[in-house]
């Protein structure tokens, strides 16, 4: 690991000042950043510890939603009764991710900003446009069974690995961002993650030195909320395909997919599961290795809707 300076910030302002230095990074739970620093994929010169800023509460908003502090741990968010009752798709997505130990450390902001699990991104001997812009993409023409089929480009076909983000997308959450030059701004989840295009190393709307301070949920939308995740083992693995679904009276109201694209993939379509899947997958560009994801996405959506119908019948 490259040497770095370490500072524990005492306030958001102090954190922003410290992060205004070149090559500074915030550290929250550290579960993604330290992993990547050990491999030399991330090499910050300054680390700014933001764990003691008091951004770890979940507060009601005037509109009737909830404002989730950036440092709220994934385990605490999933355990919050308001989340479990009114935003069940989020609680379900959170507990489907990582392990008990990791969820105790992983934070709301860190989870959104976690980087891809593309095997070539992790292998520093291989070309990767995301890790080293302009070096090429080893996944295209390489082993790509776990990579993306939607929203990808000729420069990068990686997926975003977060489960939580897929649920936040379906719930229309917004990300609250603070910068050193004062004015806070909010970015809807729809615009937070970027598509790779020619610049896969630019992943989000966050600018240099900016910090996520909170994620806000709009008032509860009701419906029956499902998160269904398919992975290569029963637990403790990233999604091959996942579906975040809000259904009402057996019909799809909102849906987003994980595991298919560089960002949570929301589909604005309604009708039967088949029709929604058709609309979602119309522009898909599978590789020879990952065409199975199209069928799997279809079946997972149908199964998620069946889950919803069963849940509604049981009420």
Partner 1 sequence: MSDLFVTLRINGTDHALSLDPRVTLLDALREHLHFTGTKKGCDQGQCGACTVLVNGRRINSCLTLAVMHEGDEIQTIEGLGTPEHLHPMQQAFLERDGYQCGYCTPGQIMSAVAVLDEIERGVPSHVTHDIGAPPPLSDEEVRERMSGNLCRCSAYPNIIAAIRDVSGGAA
CB of 143 to ligand SF4, least distance (A): 10
Q: Provide the terminal-to-terminal Cα distance of the chain, rounded to the nearest Å.
A: 53
Q: Which does 95 bind (CB under 5 to 8 A by kind): partner 1, ligand SF4, ligand FAD, none?
A: partner 1
Q: Is 302 a residue that touches ligand FAD (CB under 6 A)?
A: no
Q: Is 294 a residue that touches ligand FAD (CB under 6 A)?
A: no
CB of 263 to ligand SF4, least distance (A): 13
Q: Which does 78 bind (CB under 5 to 8 A by kind): ligand FAD, partner 1, ligand SF4, none?
A: partner 1
Q: Is 204 a residue that touches ligand FAD (CB under 6 A)?
A: no
Q: Which does 158 bind (CB under 5 to 8 A by kind): partner 1, ligand SF4, ligand FAD, none?
A: ligand SF4
Q: Is 204 a residue that touches ligand SF4 (CB under 6 A)?
A: no
Q: Which does 38 bind (CB under 5 to 8 A by kind): ligand FAD, partner 1, ligand SF4, none?
A: partner 1
Phi, psi of 179 (to 5 degrees): -125, 165
Which strands sit side by side in the sheet containing 211-217, from one edge to the other? Answer: 58-60, 66-69, 211-217, 174-179, 182-188
Classify 20 as helix, strand or coil: coil
Print the binding letters for residues 122-151 with partner 1: x by CB under 8 A, - otherwise: ------------------------------
Nearer to ligand FAD by C-beta: 16 or 88? 16
Is residue 146 within a helix (H) or strand (E), and if so which, with residue range? none
**Residue 161: CA count within 13 A, CB half-sphere:** 18
CA 172 – CA 187 distance, rounded (Å): 11
Q: Which one of residues 11, 23, 38, 249 is an interface residue with partner 1 (CB under 8 A)?
A: 38
Token output for 277: 């899947």
Query: Going by C-beta distance under 8 Å and a sequence separation of 6 or more, which residues neighbour residue 185?
Result: 176, 177, 179
Q: Which of residues 75-104 bind partner 1 (CB under 8 A)?
A: 75, 78-79, 81, 84-85, 88, 91-92, 95-96, 98-102, 104
Q: How far is CA 126 from CA 29, 49, 136, 255, 263, in A?
A: 28, 31, 9, 35, 23
Q: Is 203 a residue that touches ligand FAD (CB under 6 A)?
A: no
Query: Going by C-beta distance under 8 Å and a sequence separation of 6 or more, which residues neighbour residue 12?
Result: 53, 55, 178, 211, 213
Q: Is 221 a residue that touches partner 1 (CB under 8 A)?
A: no
Nearer to ligand FAD by C-beta: 161 or 262? 161
Q: Is 146 a residue that touches ligand SF4 (CB under 6 A)?
A: no
Is residue 289 within a helix (H) or strand (E), and if so which, with residue range? none
DSSP codes of every residue in 155-183 = S-------SHHHHHHHTT-EEEEEETTEE
Q: Which does 79 bind (CB under 5 to 8 A by kind): ligand SF4, partner 1, ligand FAD, none?
A: partner 1
Return residues touching partner 1 (CB under 8 A): 1, 3-6, 8, 27, 29-31, 34-35, 38, 47, 49, 51, 75, 78-79, 81, 84-85, 88, 91-92, 95-96, 98-102, 104-105, 234-236
């Amino acid at each position: 690991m490259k040497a770095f300076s370490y500072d524990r910030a005492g306030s958001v302002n102090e954190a922003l000042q410290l992060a205004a230095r070149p090559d500074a990074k915030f550290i929250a739970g550290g579960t993604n950043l330290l992993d990547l620093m050990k491999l030399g994929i991330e090499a910050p010169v300054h680390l700014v510890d933001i764990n003691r800023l008091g951004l770890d509460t979940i507060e009601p908003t005037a509109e009737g939603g909830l404002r989730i502090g950036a440092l709220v741990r994934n385990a605490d968010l999933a355990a919050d009764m308001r989340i479990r009752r009114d935003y069940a798709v989020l609680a379900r997505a959170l507990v489907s991710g990582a392990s008990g130990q990791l969820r105790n450390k992983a934070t709301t902001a860190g989870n959104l900003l976690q980087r891809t699990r593309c095997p070539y991104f992790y292998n520093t001997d291989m070309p990767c446009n995301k890790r080293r812009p302009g070096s090429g993409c080893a996944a295209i023409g390489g082993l790509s069974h776990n990579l993306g089929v939607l929203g990808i480009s000729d420069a990068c076909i990686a997926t975003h690995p977060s489960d939580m983000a897929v649920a936040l997308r379906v719930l229309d959450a917004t990300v609250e961002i603070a910068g050193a030059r004062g004015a806070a701004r909010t970015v809807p989840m729809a615009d937070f993650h970027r598509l790779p295009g020619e610049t896969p190393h630019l992943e989000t709307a966050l600018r240099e030195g900016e910090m996520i301070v909170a994620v806000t949920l709009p008032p509860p939308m009701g419906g029956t909320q499902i998160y269904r995740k398919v992975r290569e083992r029963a637990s403790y693995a990233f999604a091959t395909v996942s579906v975040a679904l809000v259904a009402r009276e057996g019909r799809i109201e909102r849906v987003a997919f994980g595991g298919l694209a560089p960002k949570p993939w929301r589909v604005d379509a309604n009708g039967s599961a088949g029709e929604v899947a058709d609309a979602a997958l119309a522009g898909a560009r599978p590789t020879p290795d990952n065409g199975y994801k199209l069928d799997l996405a279809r079946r997972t959506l149908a199964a998620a809707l069946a889950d919803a119908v069963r849940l509604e019948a049981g009420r």
